[in-house]
Structure 1
Amino acid sequence: MVTPVEIGLFVLVLALLFGAYRIIKAVKPLIVNAIVGVIILFIANFLGIAGGIDISLIAILVCAVGGVPGAILVIILAYLDIAFVGMMAPLVLL
């Protein structure tokens, strides 16, 4: 015989599964956008766009959070020499 506790637990598990499905369904496009943004950043750096982008933790985070628009922002800022610009090695003066 099925007890009310078992029915309650079954309903709770179904609600949790449905909620997890909805969260994963909502987050999936954001994860894909973030991965594509980071790939665009690495391709732009490989091709030498904007004189070489300094791939730092902040640039990767901007691309991961912003996705494709974040990658475009990093590329534009590097092109305009505002941020994320790869620096040349400083000369040591003797």
Structure 2
Amino acid sequence: MTGIEILLLIFVLVGVLIAASLVRAVSPFIINAVVGLVVLFLAQAVFGFSVAVTPIVLVIVALGGVPGSVIVLVLSLLGIAFVP
């Protein structure tokens, strides 16, 4: 192996390690967002709650997860916000 190939191998290894640490750091947020969106979907599909799905609702649920979806559902049921 030449010096350039060794240097390139080191750069690729460092890149893989950085990517793995980013995935480990972000995965709880992704799981939280997916579970929150599933709760919102099930509330609409199974229980018949009507919520206006807007980009703001999606951001709240994605960032808040299950508590965010519960807040959106309660506000919609009370007629305060997110009413279709």
**TM-score, normalized by length of structure 2?**
0.81
Q: What is the identity, as a one-letter code, of the residue corresponding to 1:82?
A: I
Equivalences for residues 6-85 of structure 1 within 5 A: 6-46=5-45, 47-49=47-49, 52-85=50-83
Question: How far apart, in 1, do the equivalents of 2:21 and 2:3 lie?
Answer: 27
What residue identity is the alignment partner of 2:3? Answer: P
Please tell me the residue identity of whatever aligns with 2:81: A
Q: Which has the larger radius of gyration?
A: 1
What CA distance in whole angstroms lies between the structure 1 residues aligned with 2:73 and 2:25? 28
Alignment partner of 1:10: what SS? helix
Which residue of structure 2 aligns with residue 92 of structure 1? none
Q: Unpaired runs of 5+ in structure 1?
A: 87-94
The alignment's C-alpha RMSD in Å is 1.6
Q: Secondary structure at the match of 1:55?
A: coil
Task: Give aligned-pair identity as a percent.
Answer: 40
Tell me the secondary structure at the aligned position of residue 21 of structure 1: helix
Residues 25-49 of structure 1: per-residue CA shift (max 9 Å, x gap): 2212211111110111112223134
Query: Mind listing any 5+ residue stretches in structure 2 that lack a counterpart?
Result: none
